[in-house]
Amino acid sequence: MSKQHISLAVATAVGLGAIIGAGIFVLSGTAIALAGSLSLAVFVVVGVISILIAFHIAELASLMPRLKGASYSYAYEAFGSELGFITGIIFYFGYATAISVVALGFGSYASSLIGLSSIYSRAIGIILILVLALLNTYGINRAARVDSVLVYIKISILIIFSIFAIYISLTKGFFHLSNFSITASNLSIVSLFSAAVAVFFAYTGFQVIATFISNIEGGPRIGAKAIILSVTISTIIYCLVALSLIMIVPANRFSISVDPLSFALHYVNAPQYILILIDIGALIATASTTLALIISSSRVLYQISADHLLPKIFRRYDKNKDVPINAVIVSAIIGIIMLLSGNIFVISAISDFGFLFSYITSVFAVVHFRRVRRELYSNEMFKVPFYPYSSIVTAIAILAFMLGMPREALDIGVILIIVLLLTYYTLKEMERKKVIRVRLFK
């Protein structure tokens, strides 16, 4: 087992690295375009729901700190290999597809910064994925420390952006109450749910901490604290930046694009140094998020294979560096393939489906362990506050998110579940020597 240790600050930074990236630098404009100024309320509501989900992940992580599969491992331990297999693969693809969204955001900002056409965005994104996959092979500790440095830089840049935006809106006449006006389309259920889906993608990623919680100094309870801290800090920063955007640009001027912060600064003719600073911040943010997603996705894939639900080729593990080498390579390849296909909103929605499905199984896993495995708990472990009411609210919110997702994402998600069920039972039948019959009713 690796002896590398990660502090609370570094673990929280890695969580922030996984969360703050594509969400605010890439999809914040999409959320405002869909819901107008109501996107501020959407950021708050989704943030609160994300904190509730984080409570459940934190409890399970403190309960099973040695497992690297996060939600997959919790489903596997609570409900067995069938639901574990389905949750694991869907959860993994949530991470793997998220890599492509964030890398594309990096490519868009990089193209803008160096004056290239947007057609080069995907090529630059591919280069980023390859470089960060290589960095991952040098070890979890080194990758985490690099990510933590990037996180501190990008948070500082976001704060600078917010201060600049608020200052210029109040001193240069850009702030008007009409900036916050709401149109009929903003009030539609479809628009609000679509904005919530885009914003929810901005909060996904905190489970990365659960994949290396055994490496955190101070044990599982400190790891649980890192998970909750990362989501709470992200919520505050997201709301601040979203407010700043609308203060300088009317909500109805935003569109679905991958560089809303640059758009807002160009709108107010910001000084060139601010534009360059924000572009650099976006590059750092999306790079650190891509790095964190590669870390987490590879460890989830390794854990599924370690539980013998995937071929042993994915079990190749460098114990000295604490890195699943082949799983890192596979995650990079899938990220590149997804980057070359589809619309950024649809891809992020597909990723959301994977995360939402894993979150709902995690909530049920908490209920399962609280009901039938109480002997596993101790007073030192983190527990979900206000249980079971908080679990009921969380489950309802997750189901509402799933129902409000784009039709393409739901169709792909349902098809994937059916394919995984057929695959699981086909493989199971190939291994089984005798028919098993059960009685469901007396």
pLDDT at 362: 92
- Which alpha helices (DSSP H) does 39-80 contain, by range? 39-63, 71-79
pLDDT band at 434 (very low <50, low <70, confident <90, very high): low
Q: CB of 276 within 8 A of CB of 284? A: no
pLDDT at 392: 95
Residue-level length of the chain:
442
Is it the case that residue 338 has pLDDT exceeding 80? Answer: yes
CA–CA distance, 415 with 92 (Å, rounded to integer): 16
Residue type, 434: K
pLDDT at 363: 94
Q: CB of 306 within 8 A of CB of 281? A: no
Q: CB of 102 within 8 A of CB of 114? A: no
pLDDT at 2: 44
pLDDT band at 365 (very low <50, low <70, confident <90, very high): very high
* Digit-coded pLDDT (tens) for 235-290: 888 889 889 999 998 888 887 666 788 888 888 888 988 888 888 888 888 888 88
Is it the case that residue 1 has pLDDT exceeding 60? Answer: no
Strand ranges (E), 70-214? none
pLDDT at 253: 85
Across 258-262, 343-347, 365-369, 373-377, least confident range:
343-347
pLDDT at 131: 92
pLDDT band at 4 (very low <50, low <70, confident <90, very high): low
pLDDT at 437: 63
Is it the case that residue 97 has pLDDT exceeding 80? Answer: yes
Across 13-27, 249-263, 400-414, least confident range:
13-27
Is it the case that residue 364 has pLDDT exceeding 90? Answer: yes
Is it the case that residue 357 has pLDDT exceeding 80? Answer: yes
* Digit-coded pLDDT (tens) for 286-320: 888 888 788 888 888 988 998 888 888 888 877 77
pLDDT at 194: 80
* Digit-coded pLDDT (tens) for 101-152: 888 888 887 887 888 877 888 899 999 999 998 887 776 666 667 777 878 8
pLDDT at 3: 46
* Digit-coded pLDDT (tens) for 200-233: 877 877 777 777 777 788 777 788 888 888 888 8
pLDDT at 164: 92
Specify the DSSP class assigned to residue 314. G
Average pLDDT over residues 333-345: 78
CA–CA distance, 55 with 399 (Å, rounded to integer): 17
pLDDT band at 395 (very low <50, low <70, confident <90, very high): very high
Q: Whole-number mean pLDDT of the chain?
A: 83
Beta pairing partners, 323: 318
In order of start, what are the domains of the chain with their CATH numbers?
Answer: 8-409 (1.20.1740.10)
pLDDT band at 394 (very low <50, low <70, confident <90, very high): very high
Is it the case that residue 413 has pLDDT exceeding 80? Answer: yes
CA distances from 14 to 27, 98, 289, 290 (A): 20, 16, 8, 11
Measured over the CA atoms of residue 185, residue 190, residue 196 and residue 202, the dihedral's sign is negative
Task: Please classify residue 353 by burial: count the beta carbons closer than 10 Å to its beta carbon, then call 0-12 exposed, 13-18 middle and 19+ buried.
Answer: buried
Average pLDDT over residues 82-106: 87
pTM of the model: 0.80
- Structure token digits, residue 44: 């708050």
Q: CB of 121 within 8 A of CB of 108? A: yes
CA distances from 370 to 217, 374, 388, 390, 391 (A): 26, 5, 10, 14, 11
Is it the case that residue 34 has pLDDT exceeding 60? Answer: yes
pLDDT band at 436 (very low <50, low <70, confident <90, very high): low
pLDDT at 396: 94
pLDDT at 257: 66
